[in-house]
Structure 1
Amino acid sequence: MKHRMSKTGLVLAGLLAVLTMPFAAVAQGLPDLAGRKVVVVTENAYPPLQFIDPKSGEQKGWEYDAMDEIAKRLNFEVEYRNASWDVMIQAVADGQYDIGMNGITINDERKAKVDFSDPYMRSEQFMLVRSDESRFTDAKSFAAFTDGLIGAQPGTTPFYTTVYSVLDGNEQNPRIKLFETFGATILALISGDVDAVLTDGTAGEGYVESSGGGLKMVGGPLGSEDFGFILAKGSDLIAPVDAAIADMKADGTMEKLTVKWFRDYKMGE
């Protein structure tokens, strides 16, 4: 999304998996950050990674659970902030926030501005469509269906995959309808305002399951990507966060979170 967004492949296996372990203040062998405050920014617009629960107003999702667990294992106090995607990377680069979490794809262009943690998830892009869609069955046939519209969030992996792997390489192609959030693209698909949305495979499976038969995925994967947390260049948090990610992969915690949020998550819950 951002990225973002690799699917059935955000594969449960490709995700860094882990069973929870009982836990003291700092996990054995991990750095102790002595209760320091760490400010973490997100957009809250990419369920089930992070979003606002429409019923409770609570911030929740896979990345919140993962970051809370990292904070416990490293003994730091996490403070969450909200910012739009279009300013987030630069704000982290400028030191306004310590960590950014937003399903952010690791790539060289972003590495020029910020440092990334080790990957916490691998994802693949798939086409999500309404279940009664019969005019196209994959990216190639969608490109040939010249009346078809696809929804995307500017500056994200689904946007660039749409431009360069589905359509003609023109970032101003009028067949791409832009939305401020990923959630808005899904709503536009459901309402019929667009005909397709690219999404990570595992997240896509969650949307299909929770749509009551209204959505399906078509075609094969359109490339894979790794997600990571972003930090300012040279941040002293990089090594501790990487150590916590490795620890959570090794003991099954990452896998447990993936099952919770990508298999059991339901839209609107």
Structure 2
Amino acid sequence: MKTVKSWIGLVVVLTILSVITACNNESKENNDTEKTAWANIQETGVLKVATSGTLFPASYHDSESNELTGYDVEVAKELAKRLDLEIEFTEMAFDGMLSSINSGQVDFAINDITVTDERKEKFGFTDPYKHSVGAAIVRKSDQSGIDSLEDLKGKKAAGEATTTYMEVARTYGAEEVIYDNATNDQYLRDVSTGRTDIILNDYYTQSLAVSYYSDLDIMVHPTIRYNPSSASIILKKENKDMTEAFNEVLKEMKEDGTLTKLSKQFYNGADVSEEIKLEESK
């Protein structure tokens, strides 16, 4: 009888040990998986990045060299340089960036992407490298018949479907006119000709665009300002090691003045790396 009990006891002990070992192994595998993406990048020496290539001055092609450049692009290049990594850009629309991150086609996306609570539930974000506030481009001749955001109902708002700016337009009852990674030229000409009425987007970006396309019947609306925001690099939520590594470098770039220097280069002397208060933009 004691022998039977002893065997039963031994089986129970072994079963418990087996469960504990399995749990420990699973925990170890999960930790290894969490580090895999960043470890693989360090091993291959290449960062794969999604950006639009059509968003002046964050991500666009230089008119003379046709080289991909812009504030966001140069921030990403400097980030890779300081991490001793090569960098490969893939140009795509915003919706494609998010799916490409999830599929592993790219390691992260950088394209003036606003940090929101909804996005933070699904993706990881670095510390911000840019701060701004929302503004609106309308026709200069008649202000597109818009005095405030409340006047957007029934107006044609141009943009990409899943941006935070289109969410604002949708909230105020605008008719959405959806573009797929269109150039600034197309967006702005459509407002000027009346095909659309308004573009909601970043204040700094819009100010530069209007200045560049001075021949068009467009202007930045004088009073519409909303939603102070921050832009960050977006990546898989579980890639915490990568996020920490990026944050260390971004902190260095902020402290040594690199972000300020790049900002002033692309934003006509403005320092977008500093936080902006809503009342200061009016």
Question: For residue 189 of structure 2, what is the aligned residue in structure 1?
Answer: 187
Superposed CA offset, 1:99-138 (max 9, x none): 1112111122222322111111112111111222243332
Cα distance in 2, alignment partners of residues 181 and 96 from structure 1: 18
Cα distance in 2, alignment partners of residues 152 and 34 from structure 1: 39
Cα distance in 2, alignment partners of residues 216 and 41 from structure 1: 30
The code of the aligned residue for 1:67 comes to A
Question: For residue 205 of structure 1, what is the aligned residue in structure 2?
Answer: 207
Does the 8 Å CA contact 2:56/2:209 hold for their aligned counterparts?
no
Question: For residue 223 of structure 1, what is the aligned residue in structure 2?
Answer: 227
Aligned residue for 2:122, secondary structure, equals: coil
Cα distance in 1, alignment partners of residues 89 and 210 from structure 2: 30
Residues 1:45 and 2:54 are matched in the alignment: yes
Aligned residue for 1:103, secondary structure, equals: coil
Give 1:264 shift. 6.7
Cα distance in 2, alignment partners of residues 125 and 150 from structure 1: 14
Does the 8 Å CA contact 1:34/1:76 hold for their aligned counterparts?
no
Cα distance in 2, alignment partners of residues 66 and 41 from structure 1: 13
The code of the aligned residue for 1:178 comes to I
Cα distance in 2, alignment partners of residues 68 and 81 from structure 1: 13
Structure 2: gaps of 5 or more residues? 1-41, 271-282
**For 2:245, which of 240, 244, 247 is the aligned residue?**
240
**For 2:106, which of 94, 97, 101 is the aligned residue?**
97
Give 1:56 shift. 3.3
Residues 1:249 and 2:250 are matched in the alignment: no
Aligned residue for 1:187, secondary structure, equals: helix
Superposed CA offset, 1:10-29 (max 9, x none): xxxxxxxxxxxxxxxxxxxx
Aligned residue for 2:267, secondary structure, equals: helix
1:9-24 equivalent positions in 2, closer than 5 A: none
Query: Percent of aligned positions with the same letter in both sequences?
Result: 23
Cα-Cα RMSD: 2.3
1:126-137 equivalent positions in 2, closer than 5 A: 126-134=135-143, 135-137=145-147
Give 1:213 shift. 6.2
Aligned residue for 2:266, secondary structure, equals: helix
Does the 8 Å CA contact 2:52/2:111 hold for their aligned counterparts?
yes
The code of the aligned residue for 2:165 comes to P
Question: For residue 138 of structure 1, what is the aligned residue in structure 2?
Answer: 148
Does the 8 Å CA contact 2:152/2:169 hold for their aligned counterparts?
no
Cα distance in 2, alignment partners of residues 98 and 141 from structure 1: 40
Does the 8 Å CA contact 1:131/1:213 hold for their aligned counterparts?
no
Aligned residue for 1:223, secondary structure, equals: strand
Give 1:40 shift. 1.0
The code of the aligned residue for 2:59 comes to Q
Aligned residue for 1:163, secondary structure, equals: helix
Structure 1: gaps of 5 or more residues? 1-32
Cα distance in 2, alignment partners of residues 207 and 107 from structure 1: 25
1:147-166 equivalent positions in 2, closer than 5 A: 148-164=155-171
The code of the aligned residue for 1:228 comes to S
Cα distance in 2, alignment partners of residues 126 and 251 from structure 1: 30
**For 1:68, which of 58, 77, 81 is the aligned residue?**
77
Greater C-alpha radius of gyration: 2
TM-score by length of 2: 0.72
The code of the aligned residue for 2:252 comes to D
TM-score by length of 1: 0.75
Give 1:142 shift. 4.2
Aligned residue for 1:91, secondary structure, equals: helix
Aligned residue for 1:41, secondary structure, equals: strand
Does the 8 Å CA contact 1:125/1:221 hold for their aligned counterparts?
yes
Does the 8 Å CA contact 2:92/2:181 hold for their aligned counterparts?
no
The code of the aligned residue for 1:252 comes to G
Superposed CA offset, 1:182-223 (max 9, x none): 533223113331121112111121122223264322223121
Give 1:255 shift. 1.5
